[in-house]
Amino acid sequence: MEAPPQINVGALTIALLTDGFWRNDGGCMFGVVPRELWQRNHPADEHNRIRLNLTCPLIIKGKDAILVDTGIGNRLSAVERQIFAHGEGWLPDALAALKIEPGDVTYVVLSHLHFDHCGGIVRRRPSGRLEAAFPRARHLIQRGELEVARGSRNERLRAAYRHVAECLEPIAGLIEPIVGTREIVPGVKALVTGGHTTDHQIVLVQSNGQHFAHLADIVPTRSHMKGPWNQAYDLDPLRTMEEKAGYLNRAIEQRWWVSFAHDDRVLATRVNNDRGKMVLSDIVDCREPVAEIE
């Protein structure tokens, strides 16, 4: 595998890793937005699924390597792999291409505990046993997210977190519950946004006047930068709208780099305001220019 693209943010380096492409229902990804509008930039296949990515930024600062989200990993059953069109997961190869061992990752920050973000914290061995994928990393998860994921009685939430016991068991000794804003290392912060899940968090990097934000599932693709474009999964879409508008405005004003959890063409980008319209610039890793958000 080719080494993943990297950007410099002040004194820090950020490698834009991915755990590979997958597919999910387009209607679920765009909530109240009619298919007629979303399918222009996200064509659906015969199962109504659109192609998505599993972007996991790795923030490198001195001896620290901070991985933000972990993708789906290789724990899915054969049937689930078909449903989501995902294979073994690319994250281990992406790390190897950077000459980084799984044991070199010092922190894993999980935006939330849905399977497409936390599945990669474990690796299924040929024996079938699941082991911690990053055996020396401190795994930072919001306490509220952990509580809901482990103990909700609500039918919808239980379904959304049915994989969690299996994923968390092998890393039990590595979990560090956090509450609210947390500075992970100087210049790298986890910040709660809510919206997608009640305790959904994002990661913000600041160094020498430069910024990078991984907006995770409050802006999962470039199309979700627009106010009403939110996932049907969001527990509080109005909160998602407020939070993403706040971060995107700051991103425009201060020339931040931003990355999205699931865009299949844009790994990272800067955002400009062109006469009231958000446009992308300095796009990292897209196959064709994506300048306009229609």
Q: Which is nearer to Zn ion, 98 or 149 (CB)?
A: 149
Binding residues vs Zn ion (CB under 5 A)? 116, 217
Tokens 């969690």 found at = 164
Q: Which is nearer to Zn ion, 144 or 187 (CB)?
A: 144
Q: For the range 39-47, what are the long-range contacts, defined as Cβ-Cβ under 8 Å and sequence gap of 24 or more?
A: 40/294, 41/222, 41/223, 41/290, 41/294, 42/221, 42/223, 42/264, 47/23
Q: Which is nearer to Zn ion, 9 or 110 (CB)?
A: 110
Closest approach, Cβ 104 to Zn ion, in A, equals: 25
Closest approach, Cβ 192 to Zn ion, in A, equals: 17
**Side chain identity at 171, as an amino acid letter?**
I
Q: Which is nearer to Zn ion, 98 or 215 (CB)?
A: 215
Q: Please, which residues bridge with residue 107 across strands?
A: 66, 138
Closest approach, Cβ 169 to Zn ion, in A, equals: 22
Closest approach, Cβ 115 to Zn ion, in A, equals: 9
Closest approach, Cβ 186 to Zn ion, in A, equals: 28
Q: Which is nearer to Zn ion, 100 or 235 (CB)?
A: 235
Q: Which is nearer to Zn ion, 84 or 212 (CB)?
A: 84
Q: Which is nearer to Zn ion, 187 or 220 (CB)?
A: 220
